[in-house]
Amino acid sequence: MLKVQDCSISNASHSLINKLNFTVSPGEVLTLMGPSGAGKSTFLSWMIGALSPEFSVKGELWLNHQRRDNLPTERRNIGILFQDALLFAHLNVGQNLAMALPASVKGREQRQHCVEQALENAHLAHFSRRDPATLSGGERARISVLRALLAKPEALLLDEPFSRLDQTLREQFRQFVWQQVQQQAIPVVLVTHDPQDIPAAGQIINL
């Protein structure tokens, strides 16, 4: 369960977010919409602990009954995915995925097994040894989702992850993401400008 309590964010000149409150259940997707500059990405930065010092903030972030907003980024255990699917260019797909595995998965063989399993579950096993530069945009995007989820985040934030894909790919990729998220049963916060990105069930907040 992800909970944001009375979050307000402002900079020197004006207030961006004013007393935002919501709760997202495991497997549920909350969609944040609003005009450009409303503060959607800034709010996600706060959630992951990467808010620029220009901003002042009030409010609490709770995840699975633990307060997280006072923890450093690496201890919050929140994954984030941007529209630019960033993979390490000097590593192949399998190695990119292995990088994301938590330290609790020990031993080379077990780590390799986890990566292969994830690729197989997503019907992407044939990409394991490919160089990311040789993947299409849609393929790279799917690998990036797998990588974000392999880290076993307790919540996932998506910042316009579909916006660079064409209509057909967009639809396929949305389905892929929602399936993956359902499997891991984690709360998701999605930022988008496109109403078609919003899953059938779930809350919508307009900033």
> Applying CB under 6 A, which part among 29-37, 89-97, 133-141, 175-183 lies near ligand ATP?
29-37
- 36 makes contact with ligand ATP (CB under 6 A): yes
> Applying CB under 6 A, which part among 30-38, 104-112, 171-179, 198-206 lies near ligand ATP?
30-38
- 41 makes contact with ligand ATP (CB under 6 A): yes
Residue 55 beta carbon to ligand ATP: minimum distance, rounded to whole angstroms: 7
- 54 makes contact with ligand ATP (CB under 6 A): yes
Per-residue binding string, ligand ATP, 117-136, x by CB under 6 A, is --------------------
- 13 makes contact with ligand ATP (CB under 6 A): no
> Applying CB under 6 A, which part among 33-41, 85-93, 161-169, 178-186 lies near ligand ATP?
33-41
- 157 makes contact with ligand ATP (CB under 6 A): no
> Applying CB under 6 A, which part among 34-42, 63-71, 86-94, 182-190 lies near ligand ATP?
34-42
- 158 makes contact with ligand ATP (CB under 6 A): no
CA distances from 64 to 24, 108, 142 (A): 11, 30, 27
Sequence-distant (≥ 6) Cβ neighbours of residue 114 within 8 angstroms: 98, 101, 105, 150
- Binding residues vs ligand ATP (CB under 6 A): 11, 16, 34, 36-42, 52, 54
